[in-house]
Structure 1
Amino acid sequence: MSKKIKKMAWAPATLSEFDGVRFLHLDSIWVQGAMRIRKPQHLELEYIQRMMVWMLWRDSESLREGHALQLGLGAAAITRYCHKVLRMQTTAVEINPTVIHACRIWFHLPEDDKRLTVYNEDAARWVADAERMQTVQVLNVDLYDHDAASPVLDDEAFYANCFNLLADGGLMTVNLFGRDASFARSAARIAAVFGSDQVWSLAPTKEGNTIVVAARGVAVPEREELERRAANIEAQFDLPASKWLRLVRPLPMSIINQLKAEPQT
């Protein structure tokens, strides 16, 4: 069973289906996740595929190694993928128990086993636990409320705890809205913690989702090596890694200049 937090009132998880795809909602029209019913391990949404861009920063020998953590379960797409396809040690943290229940019933999320643990807990408290420091190699952060307007955890203290969770060489991806004014603030907070030379972003999807990648002490490979890794990912996992590579860019100078202008604490 999932490890639980105190009972509270939560926005209920609801479902819709269209053209062979099942969607998760939180009592609103906004999509919180999706699964192609006949291909449950396929990553259906483009921004969810891009959350896997961390794979470019890992060589083929270590691609499947380590502990993958998902903050915000959604329709469990990344959690299923890390557990079932990559076969990594996988953990998910989700505050809303109705989401976990819906994922177990409707989105092929398996029960906990020796490689999978789902916590019904507050992600802010979970990542702040000092006993978990440097225990994670891959961290995926997708924390939005039922209105899907902005991240519910988005301050420097939270990102500092995320940094502390990562082992040396660890990688974090974060879903942000790149066409929203909050993107620059969020990216600047991440860069303030990880360092601007350890943070990159992808161009926004057509829906406006921008994936930010942050690393803890990762040396960026040469372009030829990244191209080899992209080709390997495409061949093994049928993910559009070559497209990711074309879309990855350093943080805009406006954000870096904003960091330089702010007083250091």
Structure 2
Amino acid sequence: MSAAPPTLFAMPSPFDTEVGTLLLREPPTAKAGELRARLLDGSYGKPFVVDDGELRYLYFDTRLMQSAMRLAAPDALELRYTQLMMACLLFVPRPQRVALIGLGGGSLLKFCCSRLPAADFTAVEIDADVIALGEAFLLPPPGPRLRVVEADGAAWLAQADGGIDVLLIDAFDAHGFAPALASREFLQHACDKLAGKGVLVINLAGEGERYAGLVAEVLTVFDGQAIVVPVPEDGNHVLFAFRERHFEPRWRWLHNHARELRARHGLDFPALAQKLERAARQSLARDLAGRRGR
């Protein structure tokens, strides 16, 4: 078991359901009793980590878990939706530029850095406290091919250079998906900044009706070239949108290629490819978008 970072304040979890040790970005002189009261009444206002001895979880509050890391395998993708997001490698197997908006516990960052050592990677996170808690999740240090930027994701993307091969969006606050990233303006920037065969991947959590408008905007901006895949284990959907004009997945080739990716990266890419094809044939993206007007 990994020891808690000495720079974080540790205390027993006050919650009935999230048991273990809490790791907080607080000074060593902080009073546990006061923190306990604020955590329980919902007035704490900062992200925190729960360590149960096997897993570490990132929370903004206990209603929505943001990230998970298994201490015995810190670079693995513990949550199913993060595994599905990396199915983008079926379409861009060797990306040169990867950008992530919404750092969370850094699961996607660590997977990309360990499995795609030749890629240039930028992670953008608006919350300084989330970045500071990265040490609890054993994030690699910044270097020539890795940058962690404290910024608003929409503002960063608007001024970013084009040619991004994979753009991952996993941005949430205490209330749900970051609203600034659901606008047509942001999605148009995303499309414009992708490389010619680039892929946009968005994690969507909660009820489908809450993000039906976003799915509809993606279909408009990307000329209908999008696939939405459900993740029932996590209660999420993952959206894939494709910059390539007249994009048409070659499913037989993708299923063969999935076996190569499984051998290279360890994830069950054949199962992910099957989920993608099933969702594409069921036109789930258009079904979700149609809920906007109901």
Give TM class, smaller chain: 0.7 to 0.9
Residue 57 of structure 1 and its aligned partner are, at CA, apart by 1.1
Q: 1:113 aligns with which of 140, 143, 146?
A: 143
Q: 1:96 aligns with which of 114, 127, 131?
A: 127
Is the CA contact 1:202–1:244 (under 8 Å) kept in the aligned structure 2?
A: no
Alignment of 1:240 with 2:240, yes or no, is: no
Alignment of 1:172 with 2:194, yes or no, is: no
Change (3 A) 1:110 1:254: closer
Query: What amino acid maps onto 2:144 in structure 1?
Result: K
Instruction: Show the counterpart of 2:113.
Output: 83
Which runs of 4 or more aligned residues in structure 1 lie more than 6 Å from their structure 2 counterparts after TM superposition?
256-259
Residue 19 of structure 1 and its aligned partner are, at CA, apart by 5.5
Residue 150 of structure 1 and its aligned partner are, at CA, apart by 3.2
Map 1:32-71 to 2 at 5 A.
32-58=66-92, 63-71=93-101
Residue 85 of structure 1 and its aligned partner are, at CA, apart by 1.9
Cα shift readout 1:46-91 (whole Å, capped 9, x = no counterpart): 1111111111113xxxx23311100000101111111222112110
Structure 1 vs Structure 2 CA RMSD: 2.2
Change (3 A) 1:135 1:20: same
Change (3 A) 1:11 1:91: farther
Distance 2:289 2:81 in 1: 24
Which structure 2 segments of 5+ residues have no match? 1-43
Cα shift readout 1:199-226 (whole Å, capped 9, x = no counterpart): 1111232332000000111643422211
Instruction: Show the counterpart of 1:3.
Output: none
Give % identity: 27
SS in 2 for 1:173: strand
Distance 1:242 1:194 in 2: 26
Instruction: Show the counterpart of 1:124.
Output: 154
Distance 2:208 2:258 in 1: 29
Residue 186 of structure 1 and its aligned partner are, at CA, apart by 1.6
Instruction: Show the counterpart of 2:243.
Output: 216
Instruction: Show the counterpart of 2:177.
Output: 150
Q: Specify which structure has the bigger relative contact order, considering alpha-carbon pairs within 8 angstroms and separated by 6 or more residues.
A: 1
SS in 1 for 2:253: helix
Query: What amino acid maps onto 1:44 in structure 2?
Result: E
SS in 2 for 1:111: coil
Residue 182 of structure 1 and its aligned partner are, at CA, apart by 2.1
SS in 2 for 1:124: helix
Q: What's the TM-score once normalised by structure 2's chain length?
A: 0.76
Which structure 1 segments of 5+ residues have no match? 1-9
Is the CA contact 2:200–2:242 (under 8 Å) kept in the aligned structure 1?
A: yes
Instruction: Show the counterpart of 1:7.
Output: none
SS in 1 for 2:89: helix
Q: What's the TM-score once normalised by structure 1's chain length?
A: 0.84
Is the CA contact 1:28–1:146 (under 8 Å) kept in the aligned structure 2?
A: no
Equivalenced residue count is 242
Residue 175 of structure 1 and its aligned partner are, at CA, apart by 0.6
Q: 1:137 aligns with which of 144, 165, 180?
A: 165
Instruction: Show the counterpart of 2:32.
Output: none
Query: What amino acid maps onto 1:84 in structure 2?
Result: S
Q: 2:256 aligns with which of 210, 228, 240?
A: 228
